[in-house]
Amino acid sequence: MNGAQALIRTLVDGGVDVCFANPGTSEMHFVAALDAVPEMRGVLALFEGVVTGAADGYARMAGRPAATLLHLGPGLGNGLANLHNARRAATPMVNVVGDHATYHKRYDAPLESDIDAVAGSVSGWVRRSTSTADVGADAAAAIAAARRPPGQVATLILPADVSWSPGGEPGRPVAPEPPAPVADEVVRAVAEALRSGEPSVLLVGGAATREQALLAAGRIAEGTGARLLCETFPARLERGAGLPPVERLGYLAEQATAQLDGARHLVLAGARSPVSFFAYPDRPSDLVPEGCQVHVLAAAGDDVVAALEQLADLVAGDARPERQPVRRPDLPTGDLTVQSLADAVGALLPEGAIVADEANTSGLLLPVSTAGAPRHDWLTLTGGAIGQGMPLAAGAAIACPDRPVVCLEADGSAMYTPSALWTQAREGLDVTTVVLSNRAYAILRLELQRVGAEAGGPRAADLLDLSRPDLDFVALASGMGVPASRVTTAEQFAKEFERALAEPGPHLIEAVVPPLV
Amino acid sequence: MNGAQALIRTLVDGGVDVCFANPGTSEMHFVAALDAVPEMRGVLALFEGVVTGAADGYARMAGRPAATLLHLGPGLGNGLANLHNARRAATPMVNVVGDHATYHKRYDAPLESDIDAVAGSVSGWVRRSTSTADVGADAAAAIAAARRPPGQVATLILPADVSWSPGGEPGRPVAPEPPAPVADEVVRAVAEALRSGEPSVLLVGGAATREQALLAAGRIAEGTGARLLCETFPARLERGAGLPPVERLGYLAEQATAQLDGARHLVLAGARSPVSFFAYPDRPSDLVPEGCQVHVLAAAGDDVVAALEQLADLVAGDARPERQPVRRPDLPTGDLTVQSLADAVGALLPEGAIVADEANTSGLLLPVSTAGAPRHDWLTLTGGAIGQGMPLAAGAAIACPDRPVVCLEADGSAMYTPSALWTQAREGLDVTTVVLSNRAYAILRLELQRVGAEAGGPRAADLLDLSRPDLDFVALASGMGVPASRVTTAEQFAKEFERALAEPGPHLIEAVVPPLV
């Protein structure tokens, strides 16, 4: 078999059987090899940001990596923003970047560029395959690297001749490393802090935002009075009725400061110590309150679930975690607003939904409105690189074909990777995309005020305005084969949202809402 | 003034008065400063690939750099593919990338990433501004670096606090370096080779694809019998009636090999020695024929125009360059095909048109059909990173508001940066986009055969197919405010093309053509 066949065979043997792809000439043997290894599902995207965002969404829900297939340095560049988000999500991913043949590189052909440097900026592991005989072993190492706790982007650079030459052989699967155990004394020290009776916050993140860890965290909160919070942008938060309610740390530093105010102990369980998303003149970057001691129960890569359970046994005895009751908002009526839209989503979100949330300012009220909806997963913009929502939804839908996927997408953000809709149509994915169309970079209007810029000018305002011309998302979606509607009232939204959820395949609803600012 | 104001003032003083922007929070003071320095024109794009592609198109036509404004590492990543093309085009560009405040970086906030590493992969010059007092001087240095012959991407990384703090002052303009003179003995040695009477090729590229250099090259060809060829992907080729006709070296190695066959001397005038675009099994990467001597008359950055004129004086005496007569194809009739579409464009291309060519396989016949059209400029895909055409057209139209811009765009390539259409609508640009809709990655079908892959399989074929669902470019364009039509016959195309050229503002024509392979 040739190198490409050995690579794909190794991936499949290692549990990586979906490849999101936007190939070019240097990847043609990989493409051809899909017929030789039919267990691999190739999913075509029209832009690399869709490839990498979908691979991220897939792995967040499947719990194992997908592969990507990107075309040299420019293809990697186009995929870089969502690789950045995947890096911040600690998503396992086998990122395959095709390159020129080994002997061709020195000619500096037009597509030649420094792939290694760019890949290094988003990858925890980078390797360049240099011989066909090794490509199987390289692929097995890539899978193991991708799965190394807490998960990371592993980039395998694949020269065309390594791919096309004969002499490949599948690599032997490498057993994944388990997460690192947390030392007993660490757990005991945290227990002691929580028993102090001083105001405490337990901040969960990373692998601790799923049911088992949240139940343990809920016991700890119940048993000690510690406040349970979740990192601002969890990769995958399990929430809704039956699970412990957990509030996310606010995106705006002011919100986070208020949430942490008065805490004397901050326990980090898979989460990092909170910092401001951006710097602002005369405001602190570090959000830990003065006089608050930070305790790291478990860092990324540590076995945070076991550590939380051990801690709960120490401090919470038989305490039972609070569980969120079913509590949905009433179906709203009247004009569509940020509030009524959030309430309608909360009223109608189906059991088992996966929510890809890139609603930005228009979504600020969603967490509250959906807190008591039936159990669901919430996927967020982990790295702040917009253009993630619709690709993420596509990947999640491929991972979980039997679950409804709801993508809540800001209009500005939607325009970075719109062709995700085409992939959704092509694959018949059950995704309901709600575009929150406020016709502005509303978050930047807000930020323009917050950074203290003397921002009254019309030229600055014009650069944050998306209304000249208005984007018509119904036309855009239709152009990519996704049925779409536009709504301006809460009643219309509810009707279209229910219909979209009931019908198979992708749908888009352009929800026209006034901007928050 | 603050740093942002000093930066923009310096740019304007240095002749950089257009900024293509997709800003975020860390660039809010730059945005606000647009009101303080009204000479700077801010042009909003919805995606960074549009920003960088437009800045490329602008500079190719204006002959001076535009600025960009990108949001941290992910924004740079999204712009990377068209920065790659700009690098290959030797386009001068002042690429401004906002970053976190200097003191905020150590907190590794979600958007933190290694901007410097990524910027280095596409930039000839990278500097990180570290103090507000220096930002003006840094900007002046960036302009000088961008304009250093032959031109390059100069990236200035701008931390938010450097931007927002007071104490900025405009930098003093730095005089641009002239191109390096070519030594007399180099010119004499080339003259001797050309006088040998052996078969010779004069390959022009870089700065030698404009009128003055082409006239000198035409004299040399006429006076010596050398064959005049142009590099495969010139940044800006002046051509059409009245100028010396110059054939481009073929994209496919087989074509190029045939064009160079038998040559004993290959003179490079601003062009690089020809290499295969990709490697293929058992085919050479270096396209210089056996026994052919390569002579570098002028490399990138050298004064190729003066060198060609000097060489012409030595070898061509009073020879007059051949000039292309006006010769247009007849207006075709019947079904739209790659041939009839090319003929219709050749028949109707207006005087002074600027053509942004990303037609790929569907455009293979365009060079011949348009050779005798009235004088025009032809901009090509210099770096092979698709998604350049529509942004390039937008930038060219801003540089030359009085000239018609025609964008010939393949359907696959159009889906990388479709929101360029929105910027075209917003700015009211006179761009006629023709999407050559063959509903396939046709070039990859061709390449799948050419690389020798065992390519019969349906799964491979499916990954190169864009027809499931069909993309509706009329809907897509309408969704972004660009009037559009779909045509399937040559007569319809001619009618819509003429109408689009006659009406102000952007238009799109979806030209449904069968794929070449």
**Does the distance separating the beta carbons of A161 and B34 come in below 8 Å?**
no
* Candidates B19, B118, B419, partner chain A, best to mutate (most A CBs within 10 A): B118
Q: Which two tokens stand for residue B433?
A: 């986009």
The reply to whether A282 touches chain B by the CB within 8 Å rule is: no
Q: In tens digits, what is the pLDDT along chain A, a chain of 517 residues?
A: 999 999 999 999 999 999 999 999 999 999 999 999 999 999 999 999 999 999 999 999 999 999 999 999 999 999 999 999 999 999 999 999 999 999 999 999 999 999 999 999 999 999 999 999 999 999 999 999 999 999 999 999 999 999 999 999 999 999 989 999 999 999 999 999 999 999 999 999 999 999 999 999 999 999 999 999 999 999 999 999 999 999 999 998 999 999 999 999 999 999 999 999 999 988 999 999 999 999 999 999 999 999 999 999 999 999 999 999 999 999 999 999 999 999 999 999 999 999 999 999 888 899 999 999 999 999 999 999 999 999 999 999 999 999 999 999 999 999 999 999 999 999 999 999 999 999 888 888 888 877 666 666 889 988 899 989 999 999 999 999 999 999 999 999 999 999 999 999 999 999 999 987 6
Distance CA A231, CA A236 (A): 11
Query: Are the CB atoms for B411 and B270 separated by under 8 Å?
Result: no
DSSP notation for A262-312? T-SEEEEEBPPPPB-SS--TTS-SB-SPTTPEEEEEE-TTB-HHHHHHHHH
Statement to judge: residues A377 and A309 lie in one domain: no
Residue B216 has pLDDT above 90, yes or no: yes
Q: Which two tokens stand for residue B51?
A: 């920003």
**Does the distance separating the beta carbons of B164 and A453 come in below 8 Å?**
yes
Q: Which two tokens stand for residue B197?
A: 């009477």
- The ipTM assigned to this model is 0.97
Statement to judge: residues B214 and B356 lie in one domain: no
H-helix or E-strand spanning residue B139: helix B132-147
Q: Which two tokens stand for residue A293?
A: 């001691």
Query: Are the CB atoms for B26 and B405 separated by under 8 Å?
Result: no
Distance CA A69, CA B450 (A): 20
**Does the distance separating the beta carbons of A286 and B164 come in below 8 Å?**
no
Using a 10 angstrom Cβ sphere, with 0-12 exposed, 13-18 middle and 19 or more buried, the burial of residue A169 is middle
Statement to judge: residues A41 and A145 lie in one domain: yes
**Does the distance separating the beta carbons of A113 and B122 come in below 8 Å?**
yes
Q: Which two tokens stand for residue B94?
A: 């002042």
Statement to judge: residues B107 and B236 lie in one domain: no
Max intra-chain CA distance, chain B: 69
Q: Which of A283, A315, A347 is the last residue of a domain?
A: A315
Distances (CA, A) of B227 to A196, B200, B208: 88, 6, 15
Sequence letter at residue B407: C
Instruction: Report the pLDDT averaged over residues B260-274.
Output: 98
Closest CA to B19 of B131, B98, B73, B106: B98
Mind telling me how many Å the CA of A249 is from chain B's nearest CA? 14
- What is the pLDDT at residue B147? 98
Residue keyed to tokens 């730059």: B30
Contact map slice: B 38-57 vs A, CB within 8 A: 38, 42, 44, 46-47, 49
Residue B453 has pLDDT above 70, yes or no: no
Contact map slice: A 68-87 vs B, CB within 8 A: 73-75, 77-81, 83-85
Q: Does some domain include residue A104?
A: yes
Statement to judge: residues A158 and A188 lie in one domain: no
Q: Convert the pLDDT of each residue in B341-373 to its tens digit.
A: 999 999 999 999 999 999 998 888 999 999 999
Q: Which of A130, A164, A198 is the last residue of a domain?
A: A164
- What is the pLDDT at residue A455? 61
Distance CA A217, CA A342 (A): 27
Q: Does some domain include residue B84?
A: yes
User: Which stretch of A411-415, B33-37, B49-53, B325-329 has the lowest confidence by average pLDDT?
Assistant: B33-37
Instruction: Report the pLDDT averaged over residues B333-340.
Output: 96
Distance CA B232, CA A321 (A): 68
**Does the distance separating the beta carbons of B277 and A164 come in below 8 Å?**
no
- What is the pLDDT at residue B517? 66
* CA atoms within 13 Å, Cβ hemisphere of A230: 26
| CATH value at residue A256 | 3.40.50.1220
Mind telling me how many Å the CA of B73 is from chain A's nearest CA? 8
Distance CA B462, CA A407 (A): 27
User: Which stretch of A445-459, A492-506, B30-44, B112-126 has the lowest confidence by average pLDDT?
Assistant: A445-459
Statement to judge: residues A29 and A160 lie in one domain: yes
Question: Which residues pair with residue A485 across a beta bridge?
Answer: A509
Closest CA to A335 of A503, A491, A451: A491
Distances (CA, A) of B208 to A111, B269, B294, B302: 22, 7, 17, 10
| CATH value at residue B157 | 3.40.50.970
DSSP notation for B462-479? HTTB--TTPP-HHHHHHH
Sequence-distant (6+) residues with CB within 8 A of B109 are A275, A276, A277, A278, A285, B100
Q: Are strands A293-298 and A265-269 parallel, antiparallel or unpaired?
A: parallel
The reply to whether A293 touches chain B by the CB within 8 Å rule is: no
Q: Does some domain include residue A176?
A: no
Distance CA B74, CA B112 (A): 9
Q: Are strands A125-128 and B405-410 parallel, antiparallel or unpaired?
A: unpaired
For A79-88, b/e burial (b = at least 16 CB within 10 A) is bbbbbbbbbb
- What is the pLDDT at residue A383? 98
Structural domain span for residue B193? 184-315
Distance CA A145, CA B493 (A): 53
Statement to judge: residues A225 and A77 lie in one domain: no
The reply to whether B18 touches chain A by the CB within 8 Å rule is: no
Q: Does some domain include residue B320?
A: no
The reply to whether A339 touches chain B by the CB within 8 Å rule is: no
Q: Does some domain include residue B173?
A: no
Statement to judge: residues B210 and B242 lie in one domain: yes
Distance CA B476, CA B508 (A): 10
Q: What is the CA radius of gyration of chain A?
A: 23
Cα–chain-centroid distance for residue A425? 21
Q: Does some domain include residue B327?
A: no
Average pLDDT, chain B: 96
**Does the distance separating the beta carbons of A117 and B458 come in below 8 Å?**
no
Query: What residue in A sits closest to B281 (Cα-Cα)?
Result: A161
Q: Which two tokens stand for residue A35?
A: 């017929």
Statement to judge: residues B377 and B414 lie in one domain: yes
Q: Does some domain include residue A198?
A: yes
Query: What residue in A sits closest to B481 (Cα-Cα)?
Result: A469
Closest CA to A44 of B410, B444, B512: B444
> Which carries the bigger pLDDT value, residue A451 or residue B131?
B131
Q: Does some domain include residue B230?
A: yes
Nearest by CB to residue A34, choosing from B117, B285, B459, is B459
Distance CA B266, CA B259 (A): 12
Distance CA A117, CA A461 (A): 37
Distance CA B72, CA B89 (A): 24
CB atoms within 10 A of CB A262: 12
Residue B441 has pLDDT above 90, yes or no: no
The reply to whether B3 touches chain A by the CB within 8 Å rule is: no
* Candidates A8, A12, A18, A25, partner chain B, best to mutate (most B CBs within 10 A): A25
Q: What are the chain B neighbours of A479 within 8 Å (beta carbons)?
A: 471-476, 479
Statement to judge: residues B191 and B158 lie in one domain: no
Closest CA to A8 of A36, A44, A50, A43: A36
Contact map slice: A 156-175 vs B, CB within 8 A: 160-161, 164
Query: Are the CB atoms for A217 and A246 separated by under 8 Å?
Result: yes
Domain count, chain B: 3
3-state per-residue secondary structure call for A369-386:
HHCECCCEEEECCCCCCC
**Does the distance separating the beta carbons of A286 and B107 come in below 8 Å?**
yes
**Does the distance separating the beta carbons of A111 and B383 come in below 8 Å?**
yes
Question: Which residues pair with residue A128 across a beta bridge?
Answer: A157
Statement to judge: residues B51 and B159 lie in one domain: yes
Statement to judge: residues A278 and A357 lie in one domain: no
- What is the pLDDT at residue B69? 98
Q: Which of A280, A315, A350 is the last residue of a domain?
A: A315
Query: Are the CB atoms for B113 and A122 separated by under 8 Å?
Result: yes
**Does the distance separating the beta carbons of B35 and A459 come in below 8 Å?**
yes
